[in-house]
Amino acid sequence: MKGYNERLLHEILNEAWPKQWVSEFNGIPGRKFRFDCANPSQKIAIEIDGGIWMGKGGGHTSGYGMTKDMEKLNLAVLEGWKVLRYSPQTLRKQPWQIIRDIRTLCGANGKDAGQAMLCLDDAKTPALNIQMRLDKI
């Protein structure tokens, strides 16, 4: 696994949907691109775009980095992947947005989304107990 953000993402997603998420997953055959976290059976990929506040030349904000991200995400879509992208701030301060978006992507909507059966192995999502970990950041 790469860094702290990717480890936290993997932990949060596997707490919500146990044993369904893989870190650093290579989902594009013949390419070296890896998703930060993916559910291969549902072809859902989650990316945390670090370095976005670094200014000139930082990670995903450099011309080269942005071009490679575009290539990766376009190839992913062409291969049938559904890709969601988030900032590290969203991951650390509002992780429920990621869970909500995955639920919505899987067909849950409206006020019943929190209790909806999901496409992810048809399992109900347990309540997340992540606030204590996030408070330590």
CATH number for position 55? 3.40.960.10
Stretch (H or E) spanning 73: helix 63-78
Does any domain span residue 49?
A: yes
Which one, of 3, 19, 11, lies nearest residue 132 by Cα? 11
- pLDDT single digits (tens) 81-128: 999 999 999 999 999 999 999 999 988 765 544 443 345 544 444 444
The predicted-structure confidence for 16-35, as pLDDT tens digits, reads as follows 999 999 999 999 999 999 99
**126: in domain:** no
Kindly state whether residue 39 falls inside one of the protein's structural domains.
yes
| Count: domains in the chain | 1
Q: Is residue 54 scored above 80 in pLDDT?
A: no
